[in-house]
Amino acid sequence: MTPGRQKKIREKIRHSRARLMVKDPAVAMVLMYLDFVATKEVRRISTNGRAILFDPDWFQKLENRETDYILTHEVIHIVLEDTKRPPFFVGDRFHHACDIIACSVMRNRGWNYEELPHIGRLPHRTYFPGHEGNELMPLEAYREVPFDPSRMKDRERRSYQIDSDRYWGNSSMPPDGTLILFPGYDDLTEETIPDGSGEIREPDQDLRQSIPAADADRDKQESDVYGADPAENNDHPFNEELDAAIDRLLNMIETMESHSPQQMDLLERIWKGVGSARLEWKKILDCFLQEELNDYSFQPPDRRFADSGFFLPDFNQTEVSLKDVLFMVDSSGSIDDEIIVDIYGEICAALEQYEGKLQGKLGFFDTQVTTPVPFGSVHQLLKIRPKRNGGTDFSCIFRYVRQFERNDLSCIVIITDGLGDYPTEEEADGVPVLWILYGDAPLPSWGKQARIQRKS
């Protein structure tokens, strides 16, 4: 690719980022920390979570609004962690389901296009029975996409395929790729990177020392569905800034008010259920209590030194608290809205019984774990939306804990209907576990247990 063409594409991307800084600053900030790579290996455009890879011939045809839309679309895929899909969900049907969710999220952020000339249809609802995409998880949307675009004729397929998932779950770079733009490039000037002719040379020669090098022989690395990013390279100097920008945008998306009648009805019932819990949480959780020493109390002083001229703090004042509790809620298909209402009511009651001294995280699981969200009050708790999917695998909780949470937990509270195969106690790796079961399913043979009978 000639330096002149690189420069035109580079300016196209930079102008788009500038426009987005006005229209959607949170998206623009994520784009500031991504690499942009031109390659003929992708169909239209793709991302691996750390870079955006695109077909330069197609990309140069895009109008300004199309450029802004497609770059935002790639950012939403990154933020929603679509690039970390399970390895067995590969193909156009699953990708189309993710596109529906991404387009719906974008509509909530003011992108109201139904179709764009060089991109095609921008569906934001599933097909049957039909839901707004932002109300669903990818597996739920997948079930409501009753066709596979890859089986269509190419012309029809193009109208459904907004972008490509060629590099989802793949940390390698294409051997034919040309690095067009990378974080920190805006700090460079033409004088700092001359090629002898006055034009900007390809920046992936000497100046790309801070960017993870492409390795054509690297095997494709499938993503870890519990949150690890295969595209992440800890040597990348902009990783922390990118992660922070992604977290800010994700928080904005998750805290947006849902206008779904089903969501509003569920939240209303949850509110009514707060305080109607049937468990005495303080008694159940007492065995996990931690004593937090108040190191700075000088009243009364330590009696051992009462006759001396020195006053030292007394360590006999304690404050009972329970911190870093991981609540994991079963979100499998057998958990209905009534159980979800009960679960929120129970956790809210626990917060109230501990009078602000109970803090932790709430996550959902079926065969995977959604990233747990911190909470310390009823208000924070009710911002965490329930997410429901397929079967039940209790082991995924402990795989997640071993990888991300092991050193920070005081205990794990698993709330479930018990319809699944219990793991062995060894999988808990010494972390105390409390099982809260709904219904009459058998209790596990280890850990502490409590049971709640379903309301008649």
For the ranges 62-71, 181-190, 241-250, 445-454, the maximum mean pLDDT occurs at 62-71
User: Following CA atoms 221, 224, 227, 229 in sequence, which dihedral angle do they give, to the nearest 10 degrees?
Assistant: 0
Q: Cβ atoms within 10 A of the Cβ of 448, count?
A: 16
Instruction: Tell me the pLDDT band of 91, cut-offs 50, 70 and 90.
Output: confident
Token pair, residue 197, equals: 């002719």
**Highest averaged pLDDT of the listed ranges 51-65, 129-143, 149-163, 236-250:** 51-65
Query: Chain-wide mean pLDDT for the chain?
Result: 76
What's the burial of 386, exposed, middle or buried (CB within 10 Å: 0-12/13-18/19+)? buried
| Strands of 300-417, DSSP E | 318-330, 358-365, 373-375, 411-416
**pLDDT tens digits, residue range 350-385?**
877 777 677 888 888 888 888 788 877 666 676 676
Calculate the alpha carbon distances from 393 to 396, 422, 431 in Å: 6, 8, 18
Confidence of residue 202 (pLDDT cuts 50, 70, 90): very low
Q: How far apart are CA 371 and CA 363, in angstroms?
A: 6
- In which band, very low, low, confident or very high, does the pLDDT at 233 lie, cut at 50, 70 and 90? very low
Report how far Cα 28 is from the mean position of its chain's Cα atoms.
Answer: 18
Rg for the chain (alpha carbons), in Å? 26
431 or 295: whose pLDDT is higher? 431
Chain centroid to CA 233: 18
Residue type, 261: P
Share of the chain above pLDDT 90, in %: 31
Residue 413, helix vs strand vs coil: strand
pLDDT recorded at residue 97: 93
Sign for the pseudo-dihedral over CA of 303, 305, 311, 315: negative
* pLDDT at res. 258: 46
pLDDT mean over 1-30: 93
- The gap between the terminal CA atoms of the chain, to the nearest Å, is 70
Spatial separation of the C-alpha atoms in residues 57 and 45, rounded to whole Å:
11
Q: Is the C-alpha dihedral spanning 295, 301, 305, 310 positive or negative?
A: positive
User: pLDDT of 243-257, one tens digit each?
Assistant: 989 988 887 887 765
What is the structure's pLDDT at 198? 33
pLDDT confidence band for 298 (50 / 70 / 90): very low
**Domains of the chain and CATH, by start:** 3-253 (no CATH), 261-452 (3.40.50.410)
- Return the pLDDT at 379: 63
Residue 175 has pLDDT above 80, yes or no: yes
Is residue 71 within a helix (H) or strand (E), and if so which, with residue range? helix 64-79
Q: Which residues of 60-97 are buried (b: 16+ CB within 10 A; e: fewer)?
A: eebeeebbbbbbbbbbbbbbbbbbbbeeebeebbbbbb
Please tell me the pTM assigned to this model: 0.54
Residue 214 has pLDDT above 60, yes or no: no
Annotate 127-168 with DSSP letters as a single string: SSS--BGGGS-HHHHHHT--S-GGGS-HHHHHHH--S--TTT
- Which range of 41-55, 275-289, 417-431 scores highest in mean pLDDT? It is 41-55
CB-based contact 325:347 (threshold 8 Å) = no
Using the predicted structure, report yes or no on whether residue 241 has a pLDDT greater than 60. yes
d(CA 158, CA 399): 39
At residue 303, the pLDDT reads 42
Contact 54, 36 (CB under 8 A): yes
